[in-house]
Amino acid sequence: MNNAMKTLSRFFLALNYFVMFVSCSSAQKSPGSTITPPPISGHVSKDSVSLWLTNANGSVRLQQQTPVFFDSVNKTNLVISVDSTQRFQTMDGFGYTITGGSATLINQLPTAEKTALLHELFGNSANSIGISYLRISIGASDLNSSVFSYDDMPSGQTDTTLSKFSLGADTVELIPVLKAILQINPTIQILGSPWSAPAWMKDNAGTIGGSLLPAYYNVYAKYLAKYIQAMQRQGITIHAITIQNEPLNPNNNPSMVMQAAEQATFIQQALGPVFKNENLTTKILLYDHNCDRPDYPISILNNPAAAQYVTGSAFHLYAGNISALAQVHDAFPDKNVYFTEQWVGAPGDFASNLKWHVENLIVGAPRNWSKTVLEWNLAADAQYEPHTPGGCTQCLGALTIQGNAITRNVAYYIIAHASKFVPYGSYRIASNMVNGLPNVAFLTPQGKKVLIVMNTTGITQVFGIQFKNVFAPAALASGDVATYVW
């Protein structure tokens, strides 16, 4: 770099620090945001690092800042070193669960606003956040307005041939939204999760709790296969399913309990053989519950007759530690791990939610081998509805949709800091952990390096980003998160 370039680099660096410190010190609390991220503009040198910032009080939300520049001299004591030659798992994506309630609220928007929102969420333009992975419920979740399965029968009756099977209510709200999303992003990955089998298959004949009767294992396996085939006829590929959402939670509506031994038997004797006979390539994921019970998936993976049909295990973090994902991965490195759900409890606190979710999920889950990071419901209204009777009454959506008004809440920015920059097929790459600066790095299919850093300390942290033999200076105020791209 010649003297003129060095002078220019120092000028932009000084300007960048000025912008960051002014934004950190003068910003005021903002309850919500209807502002989308600004487009990328202007020429960026190959020696520069682009950065997007969200600050703790929410007054700056995924806003692009003045770039910083690589230099041969390290000027700080704290250094995050990124090494793209050390590659770990590929990422399937970052996203949300689009519940039936989310779909209802999106469909109520005027056509122009709905189209613009879907392009913002799922497109690849400068104003989009590039969601690449979605979770949906197989039948109703607790954030539908009512409880249903695809084969409900009057009390005391059964349908073992599944002659009454129908996608029913999902054809009204969810499937049209999914079709619109696929028009924008045809390669988006979709995970299906059942909250319960049809009530007539369960030992309590109800929608809350109870367990799947062994006599219906094969019928329920065919029910799940029939769902995948019916969605395919709608033009929607279900790339993976979990066998049961929160199988150790009997209290939701709907819900169903499935102990590890029961899940193993169901996979071995029914689900795996049915999928094989039907030539289904949809991945089967275990567990789909909290990190406090890694023994659940491990016990099933220890059974070769069941494990042969299984791609990996899915987790939530309402209990336990995110390191449970690595524990399961290390025990079975040929099986993947996925992070599939975490809610933000209403009304939410922007600063604390941003800090916890970025540190534990955006950073923690991939660093513990997860191929996905999914927040819970994409959208709810201002009263945290719709939900089933007994369903979640305080689930804050990534979006609040009230009439035609759309507010972007903290979960929107938590996911966007990754989804906008880390597409499907990116590798997680090596970066060292620095106390107070949890971080994770990726290499995209286009060859870009992405580093996400959170300042969890109570003071501003000045640090360097090292790549090969050059260093880019950076600074984050307390509670801020930034995504750096070069």
- How far is the C-alpha of 387 from the C-alpha of 391, rounded, in Å? 5
First to last CA, the chain: 17
Q: Which amino acid is at 268?
A: Q
Q: How many residues can be counted in the chain?
A: 486
DSSP 38: P
Listed in sequence order, the residues at least 6 apart from 248 whose beta carbon sits closer than 8 Å to its beta carbon are 257, 259, 289, 290, 293, 296
Catalytic residue among 341, 359, 375, 385: 341
Mutual orientation of helices 100-107 and 111-122 as an angle, nearest 10°?
Answer: 130
Strands of the sheet with 63-69, listed across from one edge = 63-69, 48-54, 481-485, 449-454, 439-443, 427-431, 79-90, 461-467, 470-476
- How far is the C-alpha of 326 from the C-alpha of 295, rounded, in Å? 13
Catalytic residue among 120, 173, 246, 375: 246
CA distances from 225 to 3, 280, 311 (A): 66, 8, 16
Longest dimension (CA), the chain: 84
- How far is the C-alpha of 233 from the C-alpha of 15, rounded, in Å? 55
Site of tokens 């120092």: 10
For the question of residue 341 being annotated catalytic, the response is yes
Burial code of 353-381, b = ≥16 C-beta within 10 A, e = fewer?
Answer: bbbbbbbbbbbbbbbbbbbbbbbbbbbbb
Q: Using alpha carbons only, how large is the chain's radius of gyration in Å?
A: 23
Burial code of 189-220, b = ≥16 C-beta within 10 A, e = fewer?
Answer: bbbbbbbbbbbbbbeeeebbbbbbbeebbbbb
Q: Which residues are catalytic?
A: 246, 341
